[in-house]
Amino acid sequence: MGILDRADLIDGSRVEAGDVVVGFASAGVHANGFSLVRRVLELEDYDGDDLLAPTRLYLDDVRALRRDADVRALAHVTGGGIEGNLSRVVPKGLRVRIAWDAWERPPVFQWLARHVGEDELRRVFNLGIGYCAIVPEAAGRLIIGTVE
């Protein structure tokens, strides 16, 4: 909880068609979909560090982006995947189109993909993007999608 001036509130209401989605890399699976992860572990072992890596904190990344860009919306990618979480911050009538090949997925998601279909992977996991911001332009940042 906190107090801020209404003018400083980032609530997604200023998102417009043509804005871009910036992605911040996750450390791994985080807390997303561990029931499904446990089922996959029954089929195949995985010993990579990115399976149980602690959730990254994105505060410094967001502060840096806010210094450089007009941040219009923010979304922590938890259960529901990238699209599910971004849909909560985009005004009605707009949608986000993700460029799924814009980043390299960490090894844990390649392992999961051997046992889980792509649609379910996208719906349940962060796939290597743990936090997103929507901005009008994002020079030098990882752009993973656009608003339409």
Could you read off the pLDDT of 50-90 as tens digits, one per residue?
Answer: 999 999 999 999 999 999 999 999 999 988 999 999 999 99
- Topology annotation, domain 14-147: Phosphoribosyl-aminoimidazole Synthetase; Chain A, domain 2 (3.90.650)
Phi, psi of 74 (to 5 degrees): -135, 145
Residue 43 has pLDDT above 80, yes or no: yes
**Confidence class for position 145, pLDDT limits 50, 70, 90:** very high
C-alpha dihedral sign at 45, 112, 104, 131: negative
Could you read off the pLDDT of 89-129 as tens digits, one per residue?
Answer: 999 999 999 999 999 999 999 999 999 999 999 999 999 99
- The residues with which 96 forms a beta bridge, in sequence order, are 147
Pairing of strands 143-147, 96-98: antiparallel
- 3-state SS, residue 69: coil
Global pTM value = 0.93
CA 83 from chain centre, in angstroms, equals 8
- Please give the average per-residue pLDDT across 23-49, as a whole number: 93
- Residue 76, pLDDT score: 95
**Confidence class for position 4, pLDDT limits 50, 70, 90:** confident
